[in-house]
Chain A
Amino acid sequence: MNFKRFGRPLVIAIAAGLALSSCAANEGDVATTGDSPASTLTGTLNGGGASSMDAAQKAWIAAFQTANTGVTINYEPSGSGAGRKAFASGGSDFAGSDSYMSTEELAGEFATCAAGSKAVDLPVYISPIAVIFNVEGVTDLNVDADTLAKIFAGEITTWDDAALVALNPDATLPSATINAVHRSDDSGTTKNFSDYLGQTAPDVWTEKASDTFPFQSGEGAQGTSGVVSAVTNGTNMIGYADASQAGELSTAKLQVGTDFVAYTPEAAAEVVAGSPLVADRAADDLALDLNRKTTNAAEYPLVLVSYAIVCNEYADAAQGELVKAYIEFIASAEGQTVAEEAAGVAPLTTELEADVAAVLATVK
């Protein structure tokens, strides 16, 4: 019987294939980090949360694991809320989150942390959100918050609307319908976009910021790539997306004070650096009250900041060491460069890096 003759080697081959292919694939081609001495860290870290950071986390993990061969890090992009919940219930060692912990969450227990110890928010990921557009014959577009809010809320519907013409006297805007594209899936990008407009144009943007796009107007597209491709392929389009994914598309300048500011990583990092800490929280909690209403023309206020959430003191000191080393790497200049190359984030300013490092130094 044919099966008997060929069956056995086949089974062995399949088994071997499965066994071999289960080796880690995420320690690949990332530049090794110089001639640092061999690391003595060993262990496994589990983290989870914001999917916005997923690309950056993958790059950080690859770089960190290459430098510390004894360490395995897993990051599950399960969403910010799920990530914070898993962290609080002891399901993970650190969380990534697009929003800082609420006061209720802070008042609760943290199973991962040592008894009586709390967790802190550390800003480690800044991603500028670009307003992208695709209108034939238009390469520069100035918008103020009010106009932008009206476009996405469906109140301004044509490109040659008086408000847009007044802001762009030099541009030849067509008398075509504006097709505004938003995210159809829940996302931190939408939440930050919504938060920006809610703060700067409260009369128009009356809905509170949430992961879901609040208005029943415009066109929805799945994921950042979906928005970018819709804007690219459509006609007379405008949308918002992670700036790193904007590609060849033109990006609008936002009015800040009296100037119009184009997005740059520096301007995005600047607004984060210029934002005050959220009041009434522990001194080492670096939750930021983003200064969306800034009037400083060096700052670009439409940004998404993600936090790493870690314990002040871990129940398991060895895990604490690992988390500390990993987050220190993330928030270092080197880690930020890795993420900039992999995910197009805006690197933290040196002051913020120093602040994060100072808090991390106390983590046990």
Chain B
Amino acid sequence: MTTAAATTIKARQRPGDRIFSSATVIAGSLILAVLAAVAIFLLVESLPAFVAAPDEFSGDVTNFWSYVGPLVFGTIYSAILALLMAVPVAIGIALFISHFAPRRLAQGLGYLVDLLAAVPSVVFGLWGIGVLAPMVQPFYTTLVDWFGWFTLFEGPVSGTGRTIFTVSIVLAVMILPIITAICREIFLQTPLLHEEAALALGATRWEMIRMAVLPFGLPGIISASMLGLGRALGETMAVAMVLSPSPQVIFQLLTSQNSTTIAANIALNFPESHGVGVNILLATGLVLFVVTLLVNMLARVIINSRKAFSGAN
């Protein structure tokens, strides 16, 4: 036993190592396989819809693209409206929790917001028709009476309040927790030195947030919004229950006829559809898949282009 001529030290592979490494490889490739399987399934099942005969569509619609057009519009319209409502509120809540609230209250509030994320969407749907819609209907009537000259608030007002505006409020509540949670995490990561430097220069707390926290958190806010948008785009149950749909492109927010969303349309019409009808619905699903993919890619591009300024990725 003099010298151990250690040329290359080969790691001893215990069974555990091999099992674990192959398990991670399998798990990693599984996600690709699942995604590919879904995409292939949608593609194959959609093909008949693109060449479907005009009489397979109801009403005046004669081809797939004029069928799916209003649905794509409704999907994006409602999701963006929801985002417009949710993001400012979410940033506010996140700032309150991270910078304003006393520590004890902040923690409780954080849990409470997370709890909101655990409420099933069907419950939000019931709340939407049972509570929210009747509550906001008189408000809608006033809005149409006063601002009816403005395209978005044009009448006739819905008698039940089950409009795309109500749906957007419900969606906003649903995506609020996810946006809030991410924003809060990002804001908490703001380097303390930046904050202290701003305060030392005489900034008020609001100025400190504007100068140090928000610029640092911007990419995070964007990615949080995109995650929220993704959820809003795909939301099915709440929209199907609350919205009073009509197969047209409609910008008005408060009428009985509203553009519906792809997911809600599938949920409503799948149970009684058969033959090519099923293919048509699945093809709209493919369109939703593509739209969601584009949104996510866009979010990635935005985040990556701002990566340099932030450690929050």
Contact = CB atoms under 8 A, between A and B. Distances in A.
Nearest to B57: A212
Contacts of B273: 79, 81-82, 186
Interface string A210-225: 1110101111111000
Interface in B1-43: none
B245 A217 contact: no
Contact of A219 (B130, B158, B277): B158
Contacts of B133: 233
Interface stretch (A144-152, A177-185, A318-326): A177-185
A214 B246 contact: no
Nearest to B156: A177
Contacts of A185: 268-269, 271-272
B246 A216 contact: yes
Interface of B: 58-59, 129-130, 133-134, 137, 156-162, 240-241, 243-248, 256-257, 260, 268-269, 271-275, 277
Contact of A186 (B260, B272, B275): B272
Contacts of A78: 271
A179 B159 contact: yes
A218 B256 contact: yes
Interface string A146-187: 000000000001000000000000000000010101001111
Nearest to A184: B245
Contacts of B247: 216
A234 B136 CA distance: 11
Contact of B159 (A81, A177, A207, A229): A177
Contacts of B134: 233-234
A216 B257 contact: yes
Nearest to A50: B272
Given A216-B247, A220-B245, A179 B272 contact: no
Contacts of B257: 216-219
A235 interface: yes
B58 A236 contact: no
Interface string A8-43: 000000000000000000000000000000000000
Lowest 7 A-B CB distances belong to which pairs? A179-B159, A81-B274, A234-B160, A219-B256, A186-B272, A185-B268, A79-B272
Contacts of A179: 158-160, 256
Contact of A81 (B129, B240, B256, B272): B272
A210 B59 CA distance: 10
A183 B164 CA distance: 17
B162 A221 contact: yes
